Structure 1
């Protein structure tokens, strides 16, 4: 593991630990902001996963999001399942950003500028998380290994078929 990865993961994760702890300490404030996004996203999630029980209460959703951020950030910072934890953080960052930094709703130019800056910062962090989510540290990823295994199976099947045809010809020649 390079020094860059040793530093980058904890630095990237630190924002989510702080944000998750803050959300748990100020759940009601965050829930008020999250309500608009939750009111739109929860029905879509319920349609996408009809058999799954999805909470509708913004307070519960904020707590779940905060917990997911803290756990995934700890996993990312320590290098445990870094690709999965980066993906979880990326997924949690989207609703957090939409709820927390809706610059398009601001009328005050200063507030709009501050919210836009935070929105763009989160979008930049999202890009870093997406990169971390696909980083294989120089090792082949699961998709590559699956393609390679399928290719190996096809090659082996062709060889078996070729050997079977050859054996059938030899058997036929011995019978005649």
Structure 2
């Protein structure tokens, strides 16, 4: 594993470890912002209808996946899980377009864009093969294409 990957993964994971732990311990502080998003996702399987439970579940996934990413274990899967947790958090917590106060709108826009930046890092991590061949490359060489039959 390269030095850059060894350093970058814990750095990327740090926000999820901190935010996930906060969500687990203090769901009531996040509930007002999360409630509309939890209601919108109520029909999605595995999403709890109870807002504090949904917040804690999202936080637990962030702590577990963040820990795995930081340790370099199942990094592609853990990055994908973190990306999935980041979407509802960003949608619920940083709705800058709904804020009337200019200073608050600017702060929420910064947080929204920061989360998009972290999403970009997570998406790159899901594709990072650690300089090994990609799944697509490996499959292409093991499964003959229909043109060769």
TM range (shorter): over 0.9
CA distance 1:4–1:59, change in 2 (3 Å) = same
Larger Rg: 1
2:54 to 43, 48, 61: 61
Superposed counterparts of 1:48-87, under 5 Å: 54-87=47-80
Residue of structure 2 in register with 1:35 after alignment:
35
What whole-Å deviation, never above 9, does each CA across 1:33-89 have from its counterpart, x for those lacking one? 11111111222x24xxxxxx5421111110100000000000000000000000000
What whole-Å deviation, never above 9, does each CA across 1:117-143 have from its counterpart, x for those lacking one? 000000000000000011001111222
Higher share in helix: 1
Residue of structure 1 in register with 2:104 after alignment:
111
Superposed counterparts of 1:7-22, under 5 Å: 7-22=7-22
2:124 to 122, 128, 131: 131
Instruction: Supply the distance in 2 between the matched residues of 1:87 and 1:41 (Cα, whole angstroms).
Output: 19
Instruction: Supply the distance in 2 between the matched residues of 1:82 and 1:139 (Cα, whole angstroms).
Output: 14
What RMSD in Å do the two structures reach over aligned CA positions? 1.6
Instruction: Supply the distance in 2 between the matched residues of 1:14 and 1:6 (Cα, whole angstroms).
Output: 13
Unaligned runs of 5+ in 1: 47-52, 159-176
CA contact (8 A) 2:94 2:108 kept: yes
Instruction: Supply the distance in 2 between the matched residues of 1:28 and 1:66 (Cα, whole angstroms).
Output: 13
TM-score, length-scaled by structure 2: 0.93
Instruction: Supply the distance in 2 between the matched residues of 1:6 and 1:70 (Cα, whole angstroms).
Output: 18
CA contact (8 A) 2:47 2:54 kept: no
